Amino acid sequence: PTQAAPPITTVSQELFARARQVTPGGVNSPVRAFKSVGGTPRFIASADGAYLTDADGNTLLDYIGSWGPMILGHNHAGVREAILEAAVHGTSFGAPGWREVALAELVTRLTGTQKVRFVSSGTEATMSALRLARGFTGRKYILKFRGNYHGHADGLLVEAGSGLMTNADDLGQAAPSSAGVPPEYAGLTLVTEYNDPAALDALMAARGHEIAAVIFEPVVGNAGVLLPTPEFVAALHRSREGGTLLIADEVMTGFRLALGGATELLHLTPDLICWGKIIGGGLPVGAYGGRAEVMEYVSPQGPVYQAGTLSGNPLAMAAGLATLTALESDPGLYGRLESYTERLAQGLAQAAADAGVTVCINRVGSMLTVFFQAGPVASYTDAARSDTAAFAAWFQGMLARGVYWAPSQFESIFVGAAHNDAELNATLSAARASFQELKEA
Ligand code: PMP
């Protein structure tokens, strides 16, 4: 393959050096630092449609979409105009406004929930939903799955995705995966393997009466893409039998895999659902919701406290409303995203095979991960067997050719409405060259 000319990244390098002086690791969220793939993270100056422009003026074909929110593409006219229109009327009231009502009506209708509370991030959504589950059930333990990520609240940084790997014992007890989380907190979080229905059944039989909630990613994005088996989905439903609440973390999958999220796709009936990302259309919004009987435990109606200075912020609500309205008014959109991503998966598999590089591609809807291993990959433990050095080299090949893939083996990429045939062809030719380069290295 022709060696890609190394792009000029002088301004990004200067900004990264300045950033490291004043911000830990130079970034405000860890994966952005390119730690696992190396090289200089690109500082982004602007974004439009499927493309980013970095601080040096390089154009990048974007597969991150701000890690999910930008399903309509960057700088979408309807979303931009809604934000600008809202800004004219004031940027924060600290009092309720009509947009919160309209967005709550829309979200409950699309997702089959009865009541919803808005917060400002996915982390807050899961943290608050768990407090609610504990308040509602009067139980203190929660159960999560190895390699699922639910934001960075203390009790959720236990076997949380691409970070530290420690193994839970057969009673589900595990060590925290971050410094600063007391073992006493981590001790309240039980962990078992994703896609292992027998392990889930056994843990529920042993400790279900103490467990307030089972929280899970219905389709995992944070270990790379993992699809739940029907047997696992059935075991999730069984886990509710003793009064444990089922919490679907749809921060990534909500409004992405379908208007009704993975819940709709998999015919799941959780007690509570958490959202983030798309629900705010690129502005900071999270939410949690479910049936009224449970949600009425939230203050001021009920005894579970949860609040936020910027909750229901008018600009953020405007972006969410414009995004969800645009999704609902374009019934063919999810089919088009699916078709693009399926052709991408097939093209990538062919390019890898032609170069003699072994990969396993997991895809659902517009989410996809290329695992550098033979597969199958159904759990974090499987994903962890990937050749991360090969992934890093391939990632650098893609970036040098102007394709901005997720900078970690253990992440999903996200396809949006602005990805069309030209983008698919450009991606596949970059991928072909990058696989060849990897084989020859
Ligand atoms: N849950 C899931 C499934 C996520 O993917 C994420 C973020 N990637 C979160 C929770 C946390 O959301 P936020 O980063 O908005 O706090």
Asked whether 195 lines ligand 1 (CB < 6 A), one says: no
Ligand 1 site-directed mutation target among 120, 251, 369, most atoms within 8 Å of CB: 251
Give the integer Cα–Cα distance in Å for 72 and 403: 19
Whether residue 270 sits in one domain with residue 185? yes
Domain residue limits at 428: 10-63+332-440
Whether residue 388 sits in one domain with residue 248? no
DSSP class of residue 419 equals -
CATH code of 46's domain = 3.90.1150.10
Q: Whose CA is nearest to atom 13 of ligand 1?
A: 122
Per the domain annotation, does 72 fall within a domain? no
Give the integer Cα–Cα distance in Å for 15 and 363: 35
Per the domain annotation, does 142 fall within a domain? yes
| Helix ranges restricted to H, 138-238 | 183-186, 197-207, 230-238
Nearest Cα to Cα of residue 418 among 77, 38, 17 = 77
Whether residue 363 sits in one domain with residue 415? yes
What's at 409, amino acid-wise? Answer: Q
> What pLDDT is stored for residue 165 in this prediction?
41
Q: Which of 328, 351, 372 is the last residue of a domain?
A: 328
Asked whether 252 lines ligand 1 (CB < 6 A), one says: yes
The number of beta carbons lying within 10 Å of the beta carbon of residue 145 is 27
How far CA 301 is from CA of 96, 297, 313, in Å, comes to 16, 6, 21
For residue 297, report the phi and psi dihedrals to the nearest 5 degrees: -80, -10
Per the domain annotation, does 157 fall within a domain? yes
> What pLDDT is stored for residue 176 in this prediction?
84
Q: Which of 280, 308, 328 is the last residue of a domain?
A: 328
- Backbone conformation region of residue 273, classed left if phi is above 0, alpha if psi is from -120 to 50, else beta: beta
Whether residue 161 sits in one domain with residue 290? yes
Q: In ligand 1, which atom is closest to the CA atom of 253?
A: 3
Whether residue 224 sits in one domain with residue 151? yes
> What pLDDT is stored for residue 166 in this prediction?
43
Whether residue 322 sits in one domain with residue 370? no
Whether residue 337 sits in one domain with residue 324? no
Q: DSSP string covering 358-409, please?
A: --EEEEETTEEEEESSS----SHHHHTTS-HHHHHHHHHHHHHTTEE--SST
Give residue 437 CA to ligand 1 midpoint distance, Å.
Answer: 34
Per the domain annotation, does 322 fall within a domain? yes
Instruction: Give yes or no for a contact between 402 and 42, defined as CB atoms under 8 angstroms apart.
Output: no
pLDDT along the chain (441 residues), means of 10: 78 98 96 92 98 98 98 98 98 98 98 98 98 98 95 88 52 82 92 96 97 98 96 97 98 98 95 98 98 98 98 98 98 97 98 98 98 97 95 97 96 98 98 96 83
Helix (H, G, I), strand (E, B) or coil at 61: strand
Q: Which of 328, 355, 378 is the last residue of a domain?
A: 328
Whether residue 369 sits in one domain with residue 222? no
Whether residue 116 sits in one domain with residue 52? no
What dihedral do alpha carbons 58, 60, 66, 67 form, nearest 10°? -140
The number of beta carbons lying within 10 Å of the beta carbon of residue 385 is 14
Give residue 284 CA to ligand 1 midpoint distance, Å.
Answer: 11
- Of the CA atoms within 13 Å of residue 198, those in its CB half-sphere come to 0
Pairing of strands 59-62, 403-404: parallel
For the chain, how big is the Rg over CA atoms in Å? 21
CATH code of 90's domain = 3.40.640.10
Nearest Cα to Cα of residue 129 among 309, 302, 289 = 289
The alpha carbon of 28 is separated from its chain's Cα centroid by a whole number of angstroms, namely 17
Per the domain annotation, does 14 fall within a domain? yes
Q: In ligand 1, which atom is closest to the CA atom of 122?
A: 12
Whether residue 185 sits in one domain with residue 44? no
Domains identified in the chain, total number? 2
Whether residue 312 sits in one domain with residue 226? yes
Ligand 1 site-directed mutation target among 28, 64, 67, 123, most atoms within 8 Å of CB: 123
Whether residue 336 sits in one domain with residue 266? no
Instruction: Give yes or no for a contact between 78 and 322, defined as CB atoms under 8 angstroms apart.
Output: yes
Catalytic sites, residue numbers? 149, 249, 277
